[in-house]
Amino acid sequence: MQQSDSFAQKSHAEMSEDAVVQLLQLFEQHGIEVFVDGGWGVDALLGKQTRVHGDLDIALQHKDVPHLRLLLEARGYKDVIRADTRDCNFVMGDDSGHEIDFHSYTFDAHGTIVFGLEYPLDSLTGSGFIQGYAVKCISAEWMVKFHSGYELDENDYRDISALCEHFGIALPSEYERFTQADFK
């Protein structure tokens, strides 16, 4: 996996609603089930875009990675090498700076993760809308759980507080150090 010089120089561009919907429709047309994660997953659950997103995070079965790679490579996407790149966690980007952050997993016949990122089966039950387009995403409860255990930033606070308010979920204690006044 080679990183081109253009990728080394380019920061990623905004991943617009149009771009996200086009990608998700492409995946669906080719029978690849993806679950929207990350910032776009939050916005899908809320049913509206709440902030600018630099990438699209997706969770998918690892068996679908080769097919999805081929689809994206045909559209000019290449691997973006990062320190945390692994078979189950990697980024592809195009020359316009759009990036897709892949998180793949494999379950056994009993629903136990045997490879990849730890997505419990019940985390893959969310649904929402991006620009009116129905999408599968990480459930609100799990989105809140997944946004913990690392250095939190302003986007994390805004995303998680919006989800908690919208879905009636208690704000995790690690977010108590933030206040709305911090971000106005």
pLDDT digits (tens, 9 = 90+) for 61-117: 999 999 999 999 999 999 999 999 999 999 999 999 999 999 999 999 999 999 999
Name, in order, each residue with C-beta under 8 angstroms of 68's C-beta and a sequence gap of 6 or more: 27, 30, 32, 34, 60, 102
Mean pLDDT of the chain: 90
Q: What pTM did the predictor assign? A: 0.89
Q: Please provide the distance, in angstroms rounded to a whole number, between the alpha carbons at the two ends of the chain.
A: 42
Q: Which of 5, 1, 2 shows the shortest CA–CA distance to 95? A: 5
Domains of the chain: 5-139 (3.30.460.40)
Task: In whole angstroms, give the CA distance from residue 135 to residue 121.
Answer: 17
